[in-house]
Amino acid sequence: MSKGFASNYRIVLLAVGIFGCFAGLGTRLVFVHVIEREKYLDGLERARRQIIVEKARRGDIVDSRGNILATSRSLIVLGVDPQSLVAKDEKKWPQLAELIGVPLADLTRIFNTKTRSAAAVAAAPAAKAAGALSINFPNLSPAAATTPEAADAAAVKTDDADETEFDETPNEKGDRLIRWAKLSESVEESTYAKIQALGIKGVYGSRVYRRAYPHNSLAAHVIGYVNKQGEPAAGIERYADFYLHGRDGWREGERDGLRRELAQFRTRDVAPADGYSVMLSLDSTVQHIAEEEMDYIAKRFQPEKATIIISDPRTGFILALANYPTFNLNEYNKVPKSDEGVMRNIAVADMYEPGSVFKIVAASGALNEGLVTPQTTFDCSLTKIDYRGKPRSLAPEDHHFENPRAVPLTQVLSYSSNRGAAQLAMLMGEEKFYDYARAFGFGQNTGFPVGGETPGMMAPPKKWDGLTITRMPMGHAIAATPMQMQMAMGVIASGGILQRPQIIQQIRDASGEVVYRYTGMNKHRVISEQTARTMAVLLEGVASDHGTAPEAAIPNYEVAGKTGTTQKVINGRYSEKHHVASFIGFFPASRPQVVVSVIVDGADEHAPGGVAYGKTVAAPSFKRIGERLIPYLDIKPVQASPAGPALLAMGVTRR
């Protein structure tokens, strides 16, 4: 036998080896394709299939003239896959660090950290079971992508500047490979273009929308804000979220080993629908006027808090609403926890005793019921008066009348008589007076859509004590919000109608087409038009030389309004040193175009004489605001007539 041929033993051994290999391969194929088929198919599907969510752009909030108050900026969340970095790109790292404003040392640390121990991952503050990489960064996907298995998983947050995602399973050392680490969450589009030009492999970005407020603190309590998690937290942002947020889109497809989307395998694609824009009745210029006056009040009197509201009495729409203190919407997260009260919309959320401004209720009701006329006089020398068989104590007067035994209704309002107001209410009786107070909007929500509104406090007559009928007409024994007081004065300015204060004018789609238009909402008639006209002329006397607030008068314009100076309750007792000062009025009185409230709380320490009176703290602000509104709103002059109250005394009213 030739030695060139293998022996039979070797041939058999080779055959057995080949057979064994095929048998092993066959067994493995059976194991993979039959026994554990579902497991491997599931793993392959998870590795390749992906759901990419495309965020909708949140709609804008604009003022009545189309000026943007809140908008969504397109930014890039930038991150790195440390496993994809290559050595040749290291020389570009300093340029990247400079572009994103991160110290090179920090950038290098993130780039060189490629794993994290399973224990460290589990111990991270925000650690959850992270699935496979959930963001499709290559080719700049417009938004985050998640696999179905990882939809509820959260990225592990190690500090404010570093959010990290890992492989699903640890490697042989028990460590988790880092698949993405955040470098910056707010890279401008132009900057990202420069980053892409660097060509650093493994550095990718994802487009997101961040809320921005171009005017910072302007109308902060009305607009509200969207937090870092994209959730509307307050104001119109929250109230109108249904219109603003839009509908997210999504697409389903596959990715390759480098996690790049394979567009040819895309199976479903639902485009996002951007949110609607909300147009407010606020006018940025009017709001700016209010806030500039608020700044003056804050610097001059250093109050605890203050509110200015400006509205259109013809519709009830709010033109401006300013509170002190306030905050910057773009920096809401920088407000210390101890100061979070500055975010409260005190115009609707805080209550105070309205004081003498509330006298408009008793006067309007008695006039409307025909119980008095402008010529009716009251004995304001009385310290007590019999009412329903019992003597009732009357509050002292702040003004000394020439003839206190016969004070006409004109002077009850112009000189703010406490005793006259009490007698007006007594003429009506508890139930009727209470009904008018309710009709003016007290003790119930106004319906203003933002700010966490409180209904105020007004007890029904069955819960009154013996003094309530003498104290409530002068604005004690009742708690109201600034918005309720604005709405109540608006009844007289509107011709007797209670109007719901509104702030949203229009809803517009992404193309700018109006999809819904809000109109003024009349709730009900409170007093007749004639009574409203009579009250308007009576209230002109307040801003005249013989009234409590000549400081509110505007030359050549009929100013109607009412002062209020209320003692605050401190430790269960009325304080002589703590007051709420207010002036609420409208002009021109014969054809009102604006209603303005100025309410200042706790300004006594820096007020003239150490007492914050409505005439010295609030009325001058009303005048300054009015004088600035006149040219801007083109309010035509009407000659103020100091004889107005005198005409009423003779039974003559304006036409």
Q: Can you spell out the DSSP letters for 200-222?
A: -TTEEEEEEEEEE-TTTTTTHHH
Residue 145 has pLDDT above 60, yes or no: no
Residues 6+ apart with CB under 8 A from 628: 289
The region that residue 550 occupies, defined by phi over 0 for left and psi between -120 and 50 for alpha, beta otherwise, is alpha
Helix (H), strand (E) at residue 492: helix 482-493
Pick 49 or 355 by higher pLDDT. 355
Helix, strand, or coil (residue 408): strand
Concatenated DSSP letters of 30-72: HIIIIITHHHHHHHHHHHHEEEEEEPPPPPPEE-TTS-EEEEE
Average pLDDT for residues 376-399, to the nearest whole number? 95
Residue 109 has pLDDT above 80, yes or no: yes
Residue 83 has pLDDT above 60, yes or no: yes
Average pLDDT for residues 198-215, to the nearest whole number? 90
DSSP state of 614: I
Give pLDDT, residue 47. 46
Burial bucket for residue 242 (CB in 10 Å: 0-12, 13-18, 19+): exposed
Pick 285 or 154 by higher pLDDT. 285
- Rounded to an integer, what distance in angstroms lies between the CA atom of residue 392 and that of residue 555? 42
Considering the chain, what percentage of its residues have pLDDT values greater than 90?
A: 68
- Rounded to an integer, what distance in angstroms lies between the CA atom of residue 488 and that of residue 471? 19
Please, which residues bridge with residue 250 across strands?
A: 53, 270
Give pLDDT, residue 555. 93
Give pLDDT, residue 595. 98
Average pLDDT for residues 319-339, to the nearest whole number? 96
Average pLDDT for residues 341-348, to the nearest whole number? 96
| pTM recorded for the entire structure | 0.81
Considering the chain, what percentage of its residues have pLDDT values greater than 70?
A: 83
Pick 16 or 199 by higher pLDDT. 199
Pick 650 or 386 by higher pLDDT. 386
Average pLDDT for residues 45-50, to the nearest whole number? 54
- Rounded to an integer, what distance in angstroms lies between the CA atom of residue 361 and that of residue 436? 7
Helix (H), strand (E) at residue 306: strand 305-311
Task: Residue count of the chain, please give it.
Answer: 655
Mean residue pLDDT of the chain comes to 86
Q: Report residue 214's pLDDT band, with 50, 70 and 90 as the boundaries.
A: very high
Give pLDDT, residue 164. 81
Amino acid at residue number 26? G
Residue 148 has pLDDT above 50, yes or no: no
Which residues of the chain form CATH 3.40.710.10?
Answer: 284-332+341-649
* Helices 104-112 & 93-100 angle (0-180, nearest 10): 120
Give pLDDT, residue 11. 78
Q: Report residue 140's pLDDT band, with 50, 70 and 90 as the boundaries.
A: very low
Which residues of the chain form CATH 3.90.1310.10?
Answer: 52-280
Task: Lowest mean pLDDT of 148-162, 174-188, 477-491, 632-646, name the range.
Answer: 148-162
May I ask the CATH class of domain 52-280?
alpha beta
Residues 6+ apart with CB under 8 A from 585: 489, 539, 542, 543, 552, 559, 560, 561, 562, 595, 596, 622
What would the pLDDT profile of 533-584 be if each residue is shown by its tens digit?
Answer: 999 999 999 999 989 999 999 999 999 999 999 999 888 888 889 999 999 9
Task: Lowest mean pLDDT of 248-262, 316-330, 592-606, name the range.
Answer: 248-262
Average pLDDT for residues 3-19, to the nearest whole number? 72
Give pLDDT, residue 206. 83
Give pLDDT, residue 131. 36
Concatenated DSSP letters of 511-576: TS-EEEE----EEEE-S-HHHHHHHHHHHHGGGSTTSS-GGG--TTS--EEEEEEEEEEETTEEEE
Give pLDDT, residue 224. 97
Give me the CATH code for the 284-332+341-649 domain, please. 3.40.710.10
Pick 116 or 373 by higher pLDDT. 373
Highest mean pLDDT among 64-68, 171-175, 199-203 belongs to: 64-68
Give pLDDT, residue 387. 95
